Structures are given as C-alpha cells and as structure tokens.
Amino acid sequence: MKILLLNCQTSEGIKNILLKDELIEYIGSKQPAHDEMLDCSGLLVIPGMIDPHVHVRDMEMVHKETWETVSKAAIAGGVTTIIDMPNTKPATTNLHGLNAKREAAKKAKINYKFHLGATENNLQELEQILASDPTDVAGIKIFLAGSSSNEVITDENKLKEIFKLAKKYDKVVLVHTELQSCLDKWQQKIAEKSIQIHNILRNRECAIKGTELVLRIANEIGNKLYICHVSTKEEIKLIRVAKESNKNIYCEVTPHHLILDETILKQVGNFGKVNPPLRTKDDNNALLEAVIDGTIDCVGSDHAPHTIDEKIEDYSIAPSGFPGLETALPIIITEFDEREIPIKRLVELTSTKPAEIFSFENRGKITKGYFADLAVIDTENESPIISALFKSKAKYSPFDGSMVKAQINTVFINGRKYELNVE
C-alpha cells in the first residue's frame, strides 16, 4: 500500500490531496502522513477528462488504432476514462460484437465503457444485452446518416422502439442527427464535390431537421437523449428550448466545432474533414454562448483515427474524422483561459457531467472516496500541438501547430501515476 500526497492547486482551491491505493483519501490544507509527496505547486490539478465520444477501432481495424495506442493517446491528453463508439468491425450491435470488444479492451490502461449500436433490426439483440444489466454499457448510439462506417436508421417507428427500450433500461440514447435523406438531396443538388464545400454538401439543414426529429420523439417517449457533436446555432436554439421543459435532454460539443470554422479547410484539406462538418464563425459563437450558459453538457473529442494514406485520398473517398484525445483538453483549457471562463465550468463539461450522465460511480470529481483519476497540468507555459508526436496511430490534426497553454504533466488513473511522455 502506497500513500501519495499531492501538494497542489485545484479548481476548488484545495491545497493537498492524499491518494491511498485507488482512491482519494483526503483533501484539504493539512499534511496527513504519507509515503511520498509530489510537488504540484504552480500546476493545475483537475479530474481526468471523461470522454464520452471515442472511436477506438482495434479488432479488424488495428491499422488505425488499438486499445494500447488509444490508452497512450488518452493519457497524453489528460483523459482517464472513455466510452467507445459502436461502429467498429465487428460492430457492437449484438452480444458477439460486444464480447469481442470486451476482450480487445482488456489491453486498455484507462477506464472505459461501451456504447451499443442500434440498427433497424437488432432491437431484440439489444434487449438481450441490456436485460443482463451490464455495467460496462453506457448508452445506445443511433446514426441518422452515414459517416464513414455505420448502419443508418431512417424509420421513425424504429427510432421510437429504440427510445422506448432505452427508457425501459434507463440507458442514454446518443444520436448523430444529420438526416440521410436530406444529405442525399444536397449531394444531388450540387455537382461540385470538394472539401471546401463540405459544409454545404452535408448541409446544416440536415443536422437541424434530425435534431428536431429526435427532440420530438424524446419528448413523446420520455427517455434520456444525448445529441452528439452539435455544430449549428439553430440546433442550440432548439436544444435550449427543449431543456426548459425536459430534464432528460443532453448535448455535446467537440473542440473542433467550438473553435474551428470552415475557412481552415483551405489550409488543412481532408485533415479537417469531419461529420458533421466544420461550420461558420457564427456557429462557433453560438456554441461558445451555449458553453457559458450551461446549455451544453459535455465536451467530447470524437476521436476518430484513420491512416494518413486514407485521409490524403480524393475528397469523395477520404474518410471523415481525425484524432482528438491528445488535443481536446489542452485546446479547451486554452480557450477557456482566453475567454476567462472559470476552470470550474471546464471541470463540469469534461468530467463531472459526463460521469453523471453515463453513470460512472465515484468518478469525475476530486472528492474523498472517489477514484483517483487526476490530470496535473502546466497552464503557465505555451507550446505547439505537434501531431507528428501523437501517441495515437493517427498523426495528423487540423489543430497542428496551434499554440496551447496547457501541457499535461502527470496523470493518475485509479491512483496509478503516469509520467508523460508515457510508453
């Protein structure tokens, strides 16, 4: 048994944190007996990020990412807990796929859960899993449109059945809200196909209509709804109104939708190709306002690694998505510092609220009796994001070269210390 004392400054102004085995044993101004002290003076200590939106890959896509490499990337980014998305090979749409992923995830160095994937014909298989009361299943993911590799649900009655199933077992329904029928319309409407107009080809109208649809169904059914990677000001307005009367509505923003806009695509090309697309500066501003006023509940990285060879293909072939685990927390901390948004709000978005929504018991806060999942961060010195040095297999980013005022120094996962760079 090793007892470690951290002498530090947290968002709550705490002076000392005592770690005993996996847990936080004490917080306060005293110096209890300890075996070792880590001097964190001048550094910020916050709960490790809980990232509810990660595409780990592995299994039949080990060339893109594995649980080993995603663990290294997470730790390097101050992320201590992730939830893996279901559009893997095999997909997490039945017990066979879930068990295959469970086996692969044994290699992880981080905490994790899984989202199940809904299709138009797997309701019975989902119920078979949920009826066993699995603690490692966080939610059910629905795609209303195709995005690199997933099954699409277009039947409204099927959506209602899935929402009812989720309510029955008290699970969250997560939705990628772009509507496929709407996307098809815009694809046919515009002959030109290029990364410069990705925002028009995957038109904002499609995300807005999908968000309207799932909000309406969720209000009817009464289940927990989590809208992934909100990207438009119109969606934020819809969600803000919906949350006034329905406490089961949640939403997420990614760092890239919050900070980047479509103009950067001239510079980064397909490395900035993502679904939903990067939008406009007006959308950035609306999302920022929603972060400040509490409309947005979580920050998710949407870590979606592909190979560089895939990303430099022609626009129409190149897959959407890019790595985000190593950039999410540094980017958000830097943005919050510049905007003078309190660190306490950042902690809510990156750890406390995700833990609450997705039922991570005793995680997401620096509190006695909670697991010692911590990120120790230098917020005084500026440094560039260098994607070539990523721990992820995907060594590219639209944030490459961006200056951040948040260097991850040390990470604790269940009390285990990881010094960076981690191997």
| Three-state SS at 419 | strand
Residues 6+ apart with CB under 8 A from 135: none
| Three-state SS at 197 | helix
Tell me whether residue 243 is exposed, middle or buried, using C-beta atoms within 10 angstroms of its C-beta: 0 to 12, 13 to 18, 19 or more. middle
Residue 139 contacts residue 175 (beta carbons within 8 Å)? no
Radius of gyration for the alpha carbons in the chain, expressed in angstroms and rounded = 21
Q: Both tokens of residue 281? A: 């500066």
Residue 312 contacts residue 265 (beta carbons within 8 Å)? no
Q: Residue 222: left (phi > 0), alpha (psi -120 to 50), or beta?
A: left
Q: Name the residue among 202, 88, 206, 195 with its Cα closest to residue 149.
A: 88
Q: Is residue 337 flagged as an active site residue?
A: no
Q: Name the residue among 238, 189, 188, 187 with its Cα closest to residue 210.
A: 238
Give, to the nearest 10 degrees, the angle between helix 281-293 and helix 233-245.
Answer: 20
CA distance 313 to 33: 58
Q: Both tokens of residue 178? A: 């772009």
CA 195 to chain centre: 24
**Given 261, 283, 297, 302, the catalytic residue:** 302
Q: Both tokens of residue 139? A: 């939610």
Active site residues: 302
